[in-house]
Amino acid sequence: MWHDGRVTTTPDLRAAVGQATTAPGDAGLARRQSGARAVYDLLRGRIIDGSLAPDARLTEPVLSAELGVSRTPVREALRLLQAEALVVELPTGGVRVAPLDVADARRVYDVRARLEGLLARDACERATPDDVARLVRLVTLMDAVRDHEDEVLRVGAQFHGEIEALADNRWGSALLRQIRGHVDRYRALAARRRVGTTDHVDEHRAVADAIASRDPAAAEAAMRAHIERSAALAEQSLRGVGSATDDLP
Amino acid sequence: MWHDGRVTTTPDLRAAVGQATTAPGDAGLARRQSGARAVYDLLRGRIIDGSLAPDARLTEPVLSAELGVSRTPVREALRLLQAEALVVELPTGGVRVAPLDVADARRVYDVRARLEGLLARDACERATPDDVARLVRLVTLMDAVRDHEDEVLRVGAQFHGEIEALADNRWGSALLRQIRGHVDRYRALAARRRVGTTDHVDEHRAVADAIASRDPAAAEAAMRAHIERSAALAEQSLRGVGSATDDLP
DNA sequence: CACTGCGCACTTGTATACAAGTATCGGTCG
DNA sequence: CGACCGATACTTGTATACAAGTGCGCAGTG
């Protein structure tokens, strides 16, 4: 499955398009689920989880046929993915799934560290006492579930989401969203080979404490340090998985 | 012209499409100048320079007619602009030129400061003695032309481009490109009302010195400080131009 | 005169048709 | 047997046709 260039197993693709991943939380946006969006969501998920292999060529006609839509929405979805750099343009004009360059993962995390650091700073400058209390509560909760890694991850995501919401920084959020797909992709790749873990609880607590102390610079530094430790861990986990991405010449 | 929602004057639009802004420096990329790209370049330029007013509604049929191409490339160009946030989606599905929110300019510069800071750090870690010499030479050149503001700006752009090239950080560059249009847009808006200037020469020299000293953290800090001073200047210049953007309710 | 209901014109989203360029594969020739 | 050449099939890019949903305006009415 990993090396197969096409959409394998063909499971309810046509069903997925037209309904797509309708997250229950999106109650606010009553968007007309344009088929292009559905195709985009589908392909994006498959690229991130690896069922669409790196370097796999994606052509509009075969995607059209397999998904049961015309080329138009497929084309639009591919352009969206291209803007997100999840697919790269071939010299001839087509696209292929972006290669997995493990060395580049570091770069993704570097950028993420700066952006999330900025958001932490902004959050610190805007947080009300109630907000601070909520962050502290999340850290306490994380501590309580610290033995269940997936729970820790879930609470962690919630923590970061809270920071992002507090920051209310449109540009920071937009750019973070731009690279989130790649972060998730590397994370999915490293998931199988986790070699260790940092102390998520303490690192998050450091961020929360800095915000509680109303020290924006400290908040930024703590968040940045946290992401950079995550980066080091991911890098360590990824080292050696190159054997699973034998696509580069 | 400022308040007119449509493409005014209609000067050689059809001529522009099909040839487009073929920058002489783009010799490396022998891209088939797809009409969609030409439309994108054209609209992007008009949004940045203000000839397409903020909040102006852009509809595919009229753009098609005025540019002499079908809706397909127009649609694609609009989606690219949307991904870049230079146009925003209307609830009904159409798009309009992104409003000019002066308060948001600060956010753009904040993000830019982090990204360029990261690039300066990376550049510092990779620069060869020759590279350092080139940067120093640019600062010297900037000093020599310090009385001609446009020349200073030109050399400054070259300096930043050199840093970016040295950094060789795909993600930093990609995200920087994402917001460059907005930076240019605010800069164009502020150009008419420049109220002062920071000492570009000294600020750039600080960056070059840090890199020459092989101090990545200092390079990052110097670049970040430089951008933040530019931000303060732009903010100051922009204050009061709200009268020129009387579009919000 | 204000309000309500209908109808039109316009918009986007999708599908399909057409043109042009390119890589590939087979055949043929040296 | 290898290399070159031509034709074919496939790709993207563009144009056009069709369908559906939405807002706006106008007329009629209380």
Q: Which of A32, A104, A111, A115 to substitute to test the interface with B, most B CBs within 10 Å?
A: A111
The pLDDT of residue A193 is 73
Say yes or no to pLDDT of B83 above 90: yes
CA→C1' distance for A92 and C14 (Å): 26
Interface residue A42 vs chain B (CB under 8 A): no
Q: State the DSSP string of B58-120.
A: E-HHHHHHHHTS-HHHHHHHHHHHHHTTSEEE-TTS-EEEPP--HHHHHHHHHHHHHHHHHHH
pLDDT of residue A48 exceeding 60, the answer is yes
Tokens at A244, concatenated: 């699973």
For B248 and C2, how far is CA from C1' in angstroms?
A: 30
Averaged pLDDT of chain A: 84
Residue B221 pLDDT more than 80? Answer: yes
For residue B55, is pLDDT > 50? Answer: yes
Q: A49 versus B13: which is more confidently predicted?
A: A49
For chain D, which bases have at least one atom within 7 A of a protein Cβ? 10-17, 21-23
Torsion-angle region of residue B7: left (phi > 0), alpha (psi -120 to 50) or beta? beta
Q: What is the pLDDT of residues B170-192, one digit of tens each?
A: 999 999 999 999 999 998 888 77
Predicted confidence at residue A25, as pLDDT, reads 33
Q: Bridge partners of A89? A: A95
> Do the Cβ atoms of A35 and A18 come closer than 8 Å?
yes
Q: Categorize the per-residue pLDDT at B234 as very low, low, confident or very high, splitting at 50, 70 and 90.
A: confident
Residues B27-53: pLDDT tens digits? 323 345 688 999 999 999 999 999 999
Which of B60, B74, B114 to probe the A interface (max A CBs under 10 A)?
A: B114
Burial class (CB in 10 A: 0-12, 13-18, 19+), A204: buried
- Tell me whether B176 touches chain A (CB under 8 Å): no
Task: Enumerate the residues of chain B whose CB falls inside 8 A of the CB of residue A178.
Answer: 174-175, 178
Partner-chain contact A110 B117, CB within 8 Å: no
Categorize the per-residue pLDDT at B21 as very low, low, confident or very high, splitting at 50, 70 and 90: very low
Cα distance between residue B205 and residue A104, in whole Å: 30
pLDDT tens column, A164-219: 999 999 999 999 999 999 999 998 888 777 666 778 899 999 999 999 999 999 99
Nucleotide nearest to B95 (CA to C1'): C12
What is the Cβ-side half-sphere exposure of residue A164, based on CA atoms within 13 angstroms? 17
Please say whether the beta carbons of B190 and B238 come within 8 A.
Answer: yes
Residues near chain D strand, CB within 7 A = A 32, 58-62, 71-72, 75, 92-95; B 32, 34-36, 69-73, 76, 91-92
Domain limits of chain A? 13-97, 102-242
Q: Does B203 score more than 80 pLDDT?
A: yes
Name which of A42-51, A105-114, A150-159, B19-28 the model is least confident about. B19-28
Whether B32 and chain A come into contact, CB under 8 Å, resolves to yes
pLDDT band for position A2 (cuts 50, 70, 90): very low
Q: Is the dihedral of CA B180, B186, B189, B193 positive or negative?
A: negative
Nucleotide nearest to A72 (CA to C1'): C14
pLDDT at A16: 55
Asked if CATH classification 1.20.120.530 holds for the domain at A13-97, the reply, yes or no, is no
Region of poorest pLDDT, from A46-50, A198-202, A228-232, A240-244: A240-244
Distance from the A186 Cα atom to the nearest Cα atom in chain B, whole angstroms: 14
Residue closest to D21 C1′ by Cα: B92
Instruction: Give the pLDDT band (50/70/90) at residue A244.
Output: very low
CA atoms of B189 and B157, how far apart (whole Å): 18
* pLDDT of B94 strictly over 80: yes
- From CA B142, how far away is CA B169, in angstroms rounded? 25
For range A28-48, the mean pLDDT: 79
Confidence of residue B3 (pLDDT cuts 50, 70, 90): very low
Of A39-48, A70-79, A89-98, B232-241, the range with the lowest mean pLDDT is B232-241
Q: Which amino acid is at A117?
A: G
B102-242 has which CATH code?
A: 1.20.120.530
Look at residue B127 in the predicted model and tell me its pLDDT. Answer: 96
pLDDT reading at B249 higher than 60 = no
Is the pLDDT score of A50 beyond 80? yes
Q: Which nucleotides of C are covered by protein (CB under 7 A)?
A: 10-17, 22-23
Q: Is A168 on the interface with B (CB under 8 A)?
A: no
How does residue A33 score in pLDDT terms, banded at 50, 70 and 90?
low
Q: For the residues B226-232, what does the mean pLDDT come to? A: 93
* pLDDT value at B18 more than 80: no
Closest residue to B107, CB basis, from A80, A108, A171: A171
Decide: A9 and A52 in contact? Cβ < 8 Å: no
Top pLDDT among B235 and A24 is at B235
> How large a percentage of chain A has pLDDT more than 90?
66
Report yes or no: B170 at the A interface, CB cutoff 8 Å: yes
- The C1' atom of D12 and the CA atom of A62 lie apart, in whole Å, by 13
Average pLDDT, chain B: 84
When mean pLDDT is compared across A27-36, A105-114, A134-143, B70-79, the lowest value belongs to A27-36
- pLDDT tops 50 at residue B19: no
State the Cα–Cα distance between residues B15 and B7, nearest whole angstrom.
15
What was the pLDDT predicted at A236?
A: 86
The residue that minimises its CA distance to C1' of D23 is B92
Q: Is the pLDDT of residue A119 over 50?
A: yes
Average pLDDT on A156-168 reads 97
Query: Tell me, what's the pLDDT at A148?
Result: 87
User: What token pair was written down for A8?
Assistant: 């394998």
Q: Read off the pLDDT of each residue in B225-247 and give the average, rounded to a whole number.
A: 75
- Protein-to-nucleotide distance from the CA of A166 to the C1' of D2, whole angstroms: 70
Contact list in B for residue A80 (CB cut-off 8 A) is: 79, 83
Q: Does B114 contact A110 at a Cβ distance shorter than 8 Å?
A: no
